[in-house]
Amino acid sequence: MNPLRVVRRASGASEVLGAGLHPVLRRVYRGRGITSAAQLDTSLERLTPVSTLESIEPAVELLLAQREAGRILVIGDFDADGATSTALMVRALRAWGFTVDFRVPNRFAFGYGLTPEIVRVAAASAPTLIVTVDNGITSIAGVEEAHRLGIEVLITDHHLPGEHLPAARVIVNPNLPGSRFASGSLAGVGVAFYVMAALKRRLDVLGLTPAGAPGVAEFLDLVALGTVADLVPLDQNNRILVAQGLKRIRAGRCVPGIRALLAAAGRAPERLTSADLGFALGPRLNAAGRLDDMTIGIQCLLADAGAADALAAELDTLNRERRQIEARMQSEALAAVRGLDTDTGLRRSGVCLFDAGWHAGVVGLVASRVKDRVRRPVIAFALGAEGMLRGSARSVPGVHIRDVLARLEACHPGLIERFGGHAMAAGLTLERGRLDEFARLFDAQVAAWPGEGLMQDAVHTDGELALEEIALETAEALRAAGPWGQAFPEPCFDGVFTVSRARVVGERHVKMWVQGPRDRAFDAIAFNYLDPAAAAVLPSGAHRLVYRLDVNEYQGERRLQLLVDHILTPTEL
């Protein structure tokens, strides 16, 4: 790979963002396009109006028709977004007087979405309405099967549609062609929240809300978790949803399942950040869908306190197992990647990886880890049913991975059996015998991608910090701000430091003591820095570090720590 280049975000002049704003935070916000204090307002009053989401009123009418004698079945996806979407809708509908149950397809038995097979299984419970959450927009055959069985379908989804839409009674999706909704970045749980908000409003107007029933804002804890875990862009609307959800969790006003997951992860609710949702809670919830059945995760989010604790412990065990499987697969994948670049200069723009022994539920994580290492779009494949391969794709800024697959399928019809997703992540099914052909065409398609295209040899930072700015106070200010996430990244900085001591901890992490300006020493750590398959090479001497400021809490003491994301070689200084 080419050496990394540090590119510093612009932080030009703007109007006053707030008199009490920390100077570093002011600079960080400007680098993310924030030019006014209004853009930082995360009050619910700033939320994009519920009524502006197309088809939301017909969706409410369809749901209301089920309230007296209908039986609603919510069918979700097997990831954290799908689990939180399902739990939110089931909790809300039950509290508001509806008869509702849920089902989530087992990843290994049914695959993704509202398939004809899952519809036939669901029909055994005799639902009058199927509501999809976080899936369904490409489920043409599944909707047809539901209609054949006399079941109405309401689709709520956020994924990009294909050329044709399913013939559902109502579709609510901010990414439908021609949609004028102002926040197309909603996660599936965000769409579910909007539908439930519109329903609650109508129930209130009609006087049908049960006494003591919760308001829709009480479900924002689930919205925050699903939104962050699904890595959708944190535009202002999503930042409002996440900030409000975090506020509820920090105050202890969250479902018992989230409280139990926090305890299993060793996180204190009152100091929770969006990063904790993404890196501590999300993986534990996702572990159920990756290795077993997401029903466990949904049950955890629906359970009372006692049952939630037991289910969270089960999810924590699954997550530890997932980490072991992922570590082995990642080592194998990185070994394969090292063979892609040759002395003659051959390199891939888009990388495809496959191993017959890989776990189908974990290939998405492997694709993500390898993507971070090679800074290229990556698709990792595992064996599926009947000789098919199931692939999980992860992309980089500038390359819309779902559109890459759509263009590839348009140029080579029939090559891809099935695909779907969004800009940064996608899934697909492929005949095993066509993998080499697909890999070659995928590489060419990514290489030809228009616009900025591949900019992965650049790492974006918020510049250098002055000595007095590398401080616990700055770290606290950045931690309290945000919320940070996809397309609104957590602040990171760069600077030249001398690594005085370094040691390996936990087999793959590097603990360092570094000296910065005027020989001031700092505690630092680089997580997942070492490749287990390679020789353990520890940095020494002067290096440009790309790092984040963190608060390390130990035995009641709070200290500054640098979280090192990249250690640039001397030639990259």
H or E element, residue 282: helix 282-291
Q: Compute CA distances 105 → 78, 141, 148, 229, 388, whole Å.
A: 7, 15, 20, 19, 18
Q: Among 219, 265, 264, 216, which residue's Cα sits nearest to residue 245?
A: 219
Instruction: Note the pLDDT of residue 343.
Output: 41
Rounded Cα gap, residues 536 and 521, in angstroms: 24
Amino acid 375: pLDDT: 84
Sheet holding 170-172: strands in order across? 100-103, 72-75, 129-133, 152-156, 170-172
What is residue 155's predicted lDDT score, i.e. its pLDDT? 98
pLDDT tens for each residue of the chain, 573 residues long: 556 788 898 876 555 566 678 999 999 999 999 988 899 999 999 999 999 999 999 999 999 999 999 999 999 998 999 999 999 999 999 999 999 999 998 877 777 789 999 999 999 999 999 999 999 999 999 999 999 999 999 999 999 898 899 999 999 999 999 999 999 999 999 999 999 999 999 999 999 999 999 999 999 999 999 999 998 999 999 999 999 999 999 999 999 999 999 999 999 999 999 999 999 999 999 999 999 889 999 999 999 998 999 999 999 999 999 999 998 998 899 888 877 655 434 478 899 999 999 999 999 999 998 998 888 899 999 998 778 999 999 998 889 999 999 999 999 999 999 888 888 889 999 999 999 999 999 999 999 988 655 555 678 999 999 999 999 999 999 998 989 998 899 999 999 999 888 888 877 788 989 998 788 999 999 987 765 544 445 656 788 999 999 998 877 788 999 999 988 865 454
Backbone φ and ψ for 60, nearest 5 degrees, come out as -65, -45
- Please report how the helices 23-31 and 472-480 are oriented relative to each other, as an axis angle in degrees rounded to 10: 50
Torsion region of 387: left, alpha or beta (phi above 0 gives left; psi -120 to 50 gives alpha): left
Q: Which domains does the chain have, with CATH numbers?
A: 53-318 (3.90.1640.30), 339-447 (3.10.310.30), 459-572 (2.40.50.460)
Rounded distance between C-alpha atoms, residue 354 and residue 336, angstroms: 9
pLDDT at position 345, please? Answer: 40
Distance of CA 357 to the CA centre of its chain: 26
The pTM is what?
A: 0.91
Structure token digits, residue 572: 């990259």
State the amino acid at position 143 in one-letter form: V
What is the SS3 assignment for 431?
strand
Q: Which of 141, 188, 174, 143 is nearest to 54 (CA)?
A: 174
Neighbours of 447 (CB within 10 A): 13
Do 500 and 490 touch, CB atoms closer than 8 A?
no
Cβ–Cβ < 8 Å for 186, 194: yes
The rounded Cα 400 to chain-centroid distance in angstroms is: 16
Instruction: For residue 483, say if its preceding peptide bond is cis, omega within 30 degrees of 0.
Output: yes
Tell me if 462 sits within 8 A of 28, measured CB to CB.
yes
Q: Which residue has the tokens 């670049």?
A: 341
Contacts of 334 (CB under 8 A, 6+ apart): 370, 373, 531, 533
Q: How far apart are CA 515 and CA 501, in angstroms?
A: 10
